């Protein structure tokens, strides 16, 4: 028999009988103890604070053990989980090579500019070129008039009181004389005319392949070189190879056409395809390979990888396939 204190003095027995069904009965004894405020608490709950305290102590011990591990001691077990990724340790190797080649390109270009360039470098005017003209006494005596004209497809420009003046095919100085002659015949005596090309558009060259900025570039003089065109395209890209191709109009007459192209000046003798060794041009500085570029040329720098095909020529989207 279990005793419980009700008001601090009396003792009482509490028997609880729980019936599961009509045929089976089970007798359950429960003892209660009164707490000072008169609330009855089951005696089995008295052990909960002790269990919680024990669990808390175990958790503190585990955390303390983790925070005081010694990582400075020697490793007794062998390391077996190191895996080689197969990637090079120098991640920027391609970029370093590109920077080196860019430096060589700048050096060779500077050396070439320091040499005497044979032949005329005057720019031949053509359709779509934009001209800025200054004409004295055109509108008012003693006053200079400014005109901006785009050369039409027929090679002419319109001048007030002079009409159409054909200027294509000649250089800026030739255009000045033609405009002055046309004005002198109709309105102005001894006209003073100045012509400057402000936008070059009549001599496009397509640059594609492994260059930094592929695209269409317009020649700014009659005879630009490969190095100048590469400089306009911001040099070679990281994946550039060692070969550059030039596609040009003309007929491939014999096996020595590439060698003849080094010194040739006649566009009719130019082969359809010219291959340039970039190592020889940039690394060795062989300026004989710095060929003249002509309007309509297609210049392609081949990449290192040859896992795809390049479509070249006058197609809508030349490049890799």
CATH code that applies to domain 130-199: 3.30.1950.10
Instruction: List the chain pLDDT tens, one digit each, 321 residues.
Output: 334 444 444 444 434 433 444 444 444 344 444 444 444 444 444 554 555 455 555 555 554 444 444 444 454 544 444 344 444 433 445 566 666 766 777 776 666 555 544 444 478 999 999 999 999 989 888 899 999 999 999 999 999 999 999 999 999 999 999 999 999 998 888 899 999 999 999 999 999 999 999 999 998 877 788 988 988 898 888 888 889 999 987 443 333 444 444 444 444 444 588 999 998 988 888 888 989 898 889 999 999 876 556 565 555 666 555
Distances (CA, A) of 165 to 122, 172, 314: 20, 13, 32
Query: CATH 3.10.560.10 spans which residues of the chain?
Result: 204-320
In order, the DSSP letters of 265-286 are: --GGG--SEEEEEHIIIIIS--
> In the prediction, which pLDDT does 206 show?
93
Distances (CA, A) of 13 to 45, 49, 118, 306: 19, 26, 127, 98
The 10 Å Cβ neighbour count of residue 196 is 12
Burial of 174 (0-12, 13-18, 19+ CB in 10 A): middle
Provide the token pair at 38: 């008169």
Half-sphere exposure of residue 167, counting CA atoms within 13 Å on the CB side?
37
Query: CATH 3.30.1950.10 spans which residues of the chain?
Result: 130-199
Third-level CATH fold of 204-320: Outer membrane lipoprotein wza fold like (3.10.560)
- The pTM (predicted TM-score) of the whole model is 0.54
> Is the four-CA dihedral 261, 264, 267, 268 of positive or negative sign?
negative
Three-state SS letters, 145-208: EEEEEECCCCCEEEECCCEEEECCCCCHHHHHHHHHHHHHHHCCCCCCEEEEEEECCCCEEEEE
> In the prediction, which pLDDT does 87 show?
42
């Amino acid at each position: 028999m279990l005793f419980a204190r009700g008001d601090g003095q009396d003792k009482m027995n509490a028997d609880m009988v729980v019936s599961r069904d009509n045929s089976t009965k089970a007798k359950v004894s429960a003892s209660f103890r009164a707490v000072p405020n008169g609330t009855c608490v089951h005696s089995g709950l008295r052990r909960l604070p002790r269990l919680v305290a024990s669990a808390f102590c175990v958790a503190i011990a585990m955390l303390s053990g983790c925070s005081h591990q010694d990582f400075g001691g020697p490793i007794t077990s062998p390391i077996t989980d190191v895996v080689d990724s197969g990637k090079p340790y120098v991640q920027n190797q391609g970029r370093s090579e590109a920077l080196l080649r860019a430096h060589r390109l700048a050096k060779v270009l500077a050396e070439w500019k320091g040499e005497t360039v044979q032949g005329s470098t005057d720019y031949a005017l053509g359709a779509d070129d934009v001209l800025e003209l200054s004409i004295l006494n055109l509108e008012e005596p003693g006053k200079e008039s400014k005109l901006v004209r785009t050369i039409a497809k027929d090679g002419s420009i319109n001048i007030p009181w002079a009409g159409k003046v054909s200027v294509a095919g000649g250089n800026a100085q030739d255009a000045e004389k033609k405009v002055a002659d046309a004005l002198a015949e109709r309105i102005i005596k001894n006209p003073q005319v100045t012509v400057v090309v402000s936008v070059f558009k009549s001599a496009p060259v397509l640059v594609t392949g492994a260059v930094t900025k592929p695209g269409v570039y317009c020649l700014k003089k009659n005879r630009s070189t490969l190095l100048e065109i590469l400089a306009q395209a911001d040099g070679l890209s990281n994946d550039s190879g060692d070969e550059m191709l030039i596609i040009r109009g003309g007929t491939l007459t014999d096996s020595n056409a590439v060698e003849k192209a080094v010194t040739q000046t006649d566009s009719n003798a130019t082969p359809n395809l010219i291959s340039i060794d970039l190592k020889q041009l940039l690394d060795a500085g062989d300026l004989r390979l710095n060929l003249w570029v002509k309007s309509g040329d297609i210049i392609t720098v081949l990449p290192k990888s040859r896992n795809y095909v390049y479509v070249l020529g006058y197609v809508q989207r030349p490049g890799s396939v």
